[in-house]
Structures are given as structure tokens and as C-alpha cells.
């Protein structure tokens, strides 16, 4: 048997790209890592493997915990982690959802080509930067009262539709039509609502960005056509989450769970995995709050998309409808969701699928895939770094068997933010991208550009190759950046 020794943790090769940490001690299931050896060499460098192993101590862990090819260390549970926890006998863990609840990406198509945009790059990037709120702190497209925040939390993009920030077609091209069932605004603290009320329609900071891109390759013509993608076409990618509201909500529930469920906490190898037992009041409360924060993030991305349409209208002097600026799809990267899956012994079980830094990847025919894409599979959007371009994939035929219908979410970091700032200077990164690659970057903070320099990320091509080879998410198209704005 081929093994891979990673600083004291031994992985057994199940087959190509599938590695297993066998069950031992307090583990309730094995852990799996889906990666090439090249990616595994990078993954082993931080606490990712220890964390995915720890995850298997959670009650109700089903089949195996899974680390995606872009996995890296996170709070308790790795970013790039998938864990299905039994919804009846298991638990739900805020750290396994992530601080930024429903951090995610959406892609909007246009009918513009790269030639239409050439010569307008600086005007476009300046106008996007001036009109789309970004950076830390407050200021959004909408400044809301508390009643409005409650409406957004309860109804998601349906609220945006009512207030003319969305059209019906936008809802039809979003998971859950932009409205999570079971959202309970009363389970979000006043403090979280106060943090969120002036951040509705704002990018935030860190790795969040808005990028205008051109399609460089379409690998699958039939699926590309179903997704409305063709070479040289301009698309817009929006990556952001639930800002201070989601962050505060995660924090609120971690503290509550630590206080009320110490018995379970003491059984876990890491306090950061704090979880509420399925069926407990706190599990129900967190699920209601998390679903509400998910709606908030969807509205956030919707308002940014709305404002982007307005900016394009001014720069190109045409209506957004005329430029066919339609939503391709919106994917969540940090969520837990009650789903029914066929588990190891062939039984159908309801599980809380935690996807943290992982994307749902439902295949063709799955009833939860929007009608527009049901015949080809769910679109998956995987952003690379700002120098490397991004991918569009479709849910693969093997995802339900291998990964509870999931795949990777991005390139994944290679080094910490602190380390990145020692290695790079923001101004130099910006200049190099513009001179070498004609990529126009505008940011609130030079430090953020250094933290997000292309060199701090893993090779997105390799991450996507593994997803494609495993048949969990199949390559459809590739894009390359033109303009990028960030916090």
C-alpha cells in the first residue's frame, strides 16, 4: 500500500487523488484528503491534516470527513473541509461553517467582448471602485433600519426583488432562489444586526473582491452553451460574504455553545470545534440564525451586482438589459445545510452537510439544481488569485458518492497574511500585474494587495484538475482578470 507521511500523520492511498487517515483513538470515522501528491506536499505544511482528523471526533460524522484539494488551516475545521453530521444523532458546529457565513461567489455574464472593453479599463475600474463600497467598516449600497435588516434576513433576494434591486431571473439563477428556508431573524443578536445594517451591499476586505474578467477557454462546448459562455466574452465575478453580521453571529453562538454544551466540548480534541447536539435548542437557534445570515449575504452580493450593472450602463452608455448582464449563478462557500444523502450502508440519512471553503457540486438531474441547468449540472465558480484567472465547472457525476455533492472553492492560501506582507509590497504587485498582464487593480489598502498577491495562493489549475479527474466538478471554462477592485 502506498502511504504518505506528513509530520506524524500517515495517509493511505485509496486510489489516485484519494488519501485516507485511518480511524483510530477517538475518531468516529476515517478522514479523507482529495489531492495530488503535489498539493498534499503543500497541505501538510500547516495544521490542515490534524484539523480534518479532529473533525472526525464530532458526534454523527457520517462516512468520512473530507478535505478538498485547496484545503488549508482554519478556525477548528479546515477551510476546504466537508463534514456531514447526522441531523438526528449528530451535531452542528459554527466553526465548521466558518466565521463568514455564506461567503461565496456569483458570476454575471455580459454580451460584451474583450475588444469592447479595451481602452476603457481604467475608467471602468475607477468607476467600480468609486461606486461599490469596499474595505473594513461601514458604508453599503443601502443604509437600513432594523426593520429592513429583519426583512432581508427573513426573505433574502425576494426583498431585493420587491425593492427593484433584482429581477425575477436573478432569483432563478441562485441556490434556493436566494432565500433559505428556516431563516429566523429573531435568532440574530441586536449587536449583529447593528453591525450589518450599514454594510448591505459592500465587499469588505481580505480576499473579497469584484473582478471583471474575459473568458479565455471553453473546454466543454455543450455545457458552455448551456451556461451562456463563449471565448472572449466579458463576465463579472463578485466574491464576498455576510460582513460583520455573519462574523458576530458565529461568535455569539460559539460562546453560547461553549457555555451550554461543555459535556460535548470536553470530548473534542479542539475547543474550536464547539458543536450543539442535534435537537438541542441551541442547534435549532444556530440553524435559524445561520440561515438568516445566509440570506443577508445573498442580498449583499445582489446589491453589488445591481450597482455593477449601473456602473456598466454609465461607462458603456447602454442599458444593462441590452448588455445582457444576467446572473450565471451564485455559489455559497461557507454554509451548513440539512440534506438527505445515501450513506455508507446504503441508507438514506438526513445530515447537516457542513461546507467550509467548499462548494456544492450537484450533478445533472439533481432536483435541487435550478431548472435552467438541471440537464447539465450545477454551475460551480472557482476563483483563482487576481493574477491567475478563475474557472467555471459543473457538478460532476461522482460528487454524490464521493463528497456529499461538493468540490473545492478556490486556490487556497499557501502562506499566512503576515508572511505575505513580508514577501510582497502592494504597489509593486499592482504595477507588475498592470505592466505584464494588463490587469488593472484598485484597492483601499496596499497591505491587502500584498496579502492577496498571486504568489500567496496555490495553483488553481492543479486544484481544478484534481476536481475534474475525480469527476466531482468538471471543467467547463476558464477566465482571466481584466479589472479587479478590493478592500
Residues recognised as catalytic: 409
Separation of alpha carbons 49 and 334, rounded Å? 19
Alpha helices in 261-280 (DSSP H): 262-267
CA atoms within 13 A on the CB side of 222: 4
CB nearer to DNA: give 110 or 199.
Answer: 199
User: What are the residues facing 474 on neighbouring strands?
Assistant: 394
Q: Write the burial class of residue 113 (CB in 10 Å: 0-12 exposed, 13-18 middle, 19+ buried).
A: middle
Among 17, 19, 99, 159, contact with DNA (rule: CB under 7 A): 99
Neighbours of 393 (CB within 10 A): 27
Smallest separation, CB 194 to DNA (Å) = 7
Identify the helix (H) or strand (E) that includes residue 104. Answer: strand 104-113
Give residues 334-373 in contact with DNA (rule: CB under 7 A): none
Q: State the binding string over 43-82 for DNA (x if CB under 7 A, else -).
A: --------------------------------x-------
CA-closest candidate to residue 187, choices 258, 259, 245: 245
Tell me the binding residues.
Answer: 100, 207-211, 239, 333-334, 383-386, 390, 409-412, 486
What grid cell was written down for 179? 432565500
CB of 15 to DNA, least distance (A): 32
Distances in Å between the alpha carbon of 230 and those of 16, 112, 348? 32, 11, 39
Nearest to DNA of 71, 204 (CB atom):
204
**Residue 137 binds DNA (CB under 7 A):** yes
Q: Give whichever of 46 and 100 is closer to DNA, judged by the CB atom.
A: 100
Nearer to DNA, 118 or 255 (CB): 255
Which residue is listed with cell 454594510? Answer: 199
Which residues ranging from 217 to 246 are in contact with DNA (CB under 7 A)?
Answer: 240-241, 243-244
* Total residues binding DNA (CB under 7 A): 23
Decide: is 204 part of the binding site for DNA (CB under 7 A): yes
Output the smallest distance, CB 49 to DNA, in A: 21
Provide the CA 301 distance to its chain's centre, in angstroms: 12
Check residue 191 for interaction with DNA (CB under 7 A): yes
Query: Contact with DNA (CB under 7 A): which of 100, 158, 220, 474?
Result: 100
CB proximity list for 156: less than 8 A, separation 6 or greater: 176, 178, 179, 180, 183, 294, 295, 296, 298, 299
Using rule CB under 7 A, residue 206 touches DNA: yes
Give the residue with the Cβ less far from DNA, 142 or 223. 142
> What is the length of the chain?
487
18: nearest Cα among 52, 66, 63: 66
Judge residue 377's burial from the number of C-beta atoms within 10 Å of its C-beta, 0-12 exposed, 13-18 middle, 19 or more buried: buried
Annotated binding site for Mn(2+): 100, 208, 239, 333
Q: Which stretch binds DNA (CB under 7 A): 99-107, 116-124, 284-292, 359-367?
A: 99-107
Q: Which residues are annotated as a binding site for GMP?
A: 207-211, 333-334, 383-386, 390, 409-412, 486
Binding to DNA by residue 207, rule CB under 7 A? Answer: yes
Residue 60's alpha-carbon distances to 21, 55, 80, in angstroms, are 18, 11, 20
- Establish how many alpha carbons lie within 13 A of residue 13's alpha carbon, considering only the half-sphere containing its beta carbon: 12
Binding mask 408-437 for DNA (x = CB under 7 A): ---------x--------------------
Q: Quick check: 199 binds DNA (CB under 7 A)?
A: yes
95 binds DNA (CB under 7 A): no
Of 11 and 304, the one with the shorter C-beta distance to DNA is 304
Pick from 43, 92, 103, 393: which binds DNA (CB under 7 A)? 103
Among 247, 301, 355, 360, binds DNA (CB under 7 A): 247
The C-alpha angle with vertex 221 and arms to 388 and 373, in degrees rounded to 5, equals 90
Angle at 451 between CA 450 and CA 455, to 5 degrees: 80
Q: Tell me which residues touch DNA (CB under 7 A).
A: 75, 99-100, 103, 136-137, 191, 195, 199, 204-208, 240-241, 243-244, 247-248, 417, 445, 487
Amino acid at each position: 500500500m502506498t502511504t504518505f507521511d506528513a509530520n506524524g500523520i500517515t495517509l493511505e492511498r485509496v486510489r489516485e487523488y484519494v488519501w485516507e487517515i485511518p480511524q483510530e483513538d477517538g475518531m468516529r470515522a476515517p478522514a479523507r484528503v482529495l489531492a495530488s501528491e503535489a498539493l498534499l506536499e503543500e497541505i501538510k505544511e500547516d495544521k490542515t491534516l490534524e484539523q480534518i482528523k479532529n473533525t472526525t471526533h464530532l458526534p454523527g460524522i457520517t462516512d468520512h470527513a473530507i478535505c478538498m484539494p485547496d484545503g488549508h488551516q482554519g478556525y477548528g475545521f479546515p477551510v476546504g473541509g466537508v463534514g456531514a453530521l447526522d441531523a438526528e444523532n449528530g451535531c452542528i458546529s459554527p466553526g465548521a461553517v466558518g466565521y463568514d457565513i455564506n461567503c461565496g461567489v456569483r458570476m454575471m455574464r455580459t454580451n460584451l467582448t474583450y475588444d469592447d472593453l479595451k481602452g476603457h479599463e481604467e475608467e471602468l475600474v475607477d468607476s467600480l471602485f468609486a461606486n461599490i463600497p469596499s474595505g473594513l467598516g461601514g458604508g453599503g449600497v443601502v443604509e437600513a433600519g432594523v426593520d429592513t435588516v429583519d426583512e432581508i434576513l427573513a426573505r433574502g433576494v425576494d426583498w431585493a426583488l420587491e425593492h427593484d434591486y433584482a429581477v425575477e431571473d436573478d432569483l432563478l439563477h441562485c441556490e434556493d432562489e436566494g432565500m433559505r428556508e428556516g431563516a429566523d431573524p429573531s435568532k440574530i443578536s441586536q449587536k449583529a444586526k447593528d453591525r450589518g445594517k450599514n454594510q448591505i451591499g459592500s465587499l469588505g476586505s481580505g480576499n473579497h473582491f469584484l473582478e471583471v474578467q474575459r473568458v479565455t477557454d471553453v473546454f466543454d462546448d455543450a455545457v458552455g452553451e448551456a451556461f451562456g459562455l463563449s471565448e472572449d466574452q466579458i463576465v463579472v465575478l463578485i466574491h464576498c460574504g455576510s460582513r460583520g453580521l455573519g462574523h458576530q453571529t458565529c461568535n455569539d453562538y460559539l460562546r453560547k455553545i461553549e457555555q451550554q454544551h461543555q459535556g460535548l466540548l470536553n470530548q473534542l480534541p479542539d475547543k474550536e470545534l464547539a458543536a450543539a447536539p442535534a435537537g438541542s435548542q441551541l442547534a435549532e437557534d444556530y440553524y435559524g440564525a445561520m440561515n438568516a445570515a445566509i440570506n443577508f449575504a445573498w442580498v449583499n452580493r445582489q446589491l453589488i451586482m445591481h450597482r455593477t450593472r449601473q456602473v456598466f450602463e454609465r461607462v458603456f452608455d447602454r442599458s444593462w438589459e441590452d448588455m445582457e448582464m444576467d446572473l450565471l449563478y451564485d455559489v455559497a462557500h461557507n454554509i451548513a445545510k440539512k440534506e438527505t444523502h445515501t450513506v455508507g450502508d446504503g441508507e438514506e440519512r438526513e445530515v447537516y452537510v457542513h461546507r467550509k471553503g467548499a462548494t456544492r457540486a450537484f450533478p445533472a438531474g439533481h432536483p435541487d439544481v435550478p431548472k435552467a441547468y438541471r440537464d447539465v449540472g450545477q454551475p460551480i465558480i472557482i476563483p483563482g488569485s487576481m493574477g491567475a484567472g478563475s474557472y467555471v465547472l459543473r457538478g460532476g457525476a461522482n460528487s454524490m458518492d464521493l463528497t456529499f455533492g461538493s468540490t473545492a472553492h478556490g486556490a487556497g492560501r499557501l502562506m499566512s497574511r503576515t508572511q505575505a506582507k513580508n514577501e510582497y509590497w502592494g504597489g509593486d504587485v499592482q504595477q507588475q500585474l498592470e505592466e505584464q498582464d494588463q490587469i488593472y487593480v484598485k484597492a483601499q489598502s496596499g497591505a491587502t494587495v500584498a496579502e492577496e498577491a498571486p504568489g500567496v495562493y496555490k495553483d488553481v489549475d492543479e486544484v481544478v484538475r484534481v476536481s475534474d479527474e475525480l469527476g466531482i466538478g468538471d471543467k467547463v471554462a476558464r477566465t482571466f482578470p481584466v479589472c479587479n477592485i478590493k478592500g
